[in-house]
Amino acid sequence: MQERISIAKTLGSGELGEKMKPICTSWVTVSIRCARTYIQALLGLLVAQPTLHLDVDTVQLLAVAALPALFSAAQNALEEHGANLGPRG
């Protein structure tokens, strides 16, 4: 246990640890945005289901709510990590 703690301290304190911090925080940001989008889409579907008289299984409802979250995660990952897909104007 002590060895794992000392390894973690060593990795977090050196030059490699300093380079990894922005990468880790950007992935945390992407994950938070993805989770927020999933919750918003799920709540929207749960509100719309009785209003529109949708007869949808719970698993299908969860899967449909996951689609916008996956698209959001892909978009945010590309924006955070600076993918060069063409000119920005």
pLDDT digits (tens, 9 = 90+) for 47-72: 988 888 888 888 998 999 999 999 99
53 inside domain? yes
Let me know if residue 55 belongs to a domain.
Answer: yes
Q: Is the pTM of this model over 0.75?
A: no
DSSP state of 83: -
Instruction: Give every CB contact of residue 40 below 8 A, 6+ residues apart in sequence.
Output: none
Cβ atoms within 10 Å, residue 38? 19
Q: Is residue 20 part of a domain?
A: no
Residues of the chain with pLDDT > 90: what percent?
Answer: 26
Residue 2 maps to a domain: no
- Domain that includes residue 60, residue range: 29-80
Q: Classify the phi-psi angles of 82: left when phi > 0, otherwise alpha if psi is within -120 to 50, otherwise beta.
A: left
Residue 50 in any domain: the answer is yes
User: Is 8 inside any structural domain?
Assistant: no
15 vs 26, residue with greater confidence: 26
Answer yes or no: is pLDDT of 85 > 70.
Answer: no
| Cβ 12 vs Cβ 18: under 8 Å | no
Total domains present in the chain: 1
Instruction: Specify the higher pLDDT residue, 7 or 49.
Output: 49
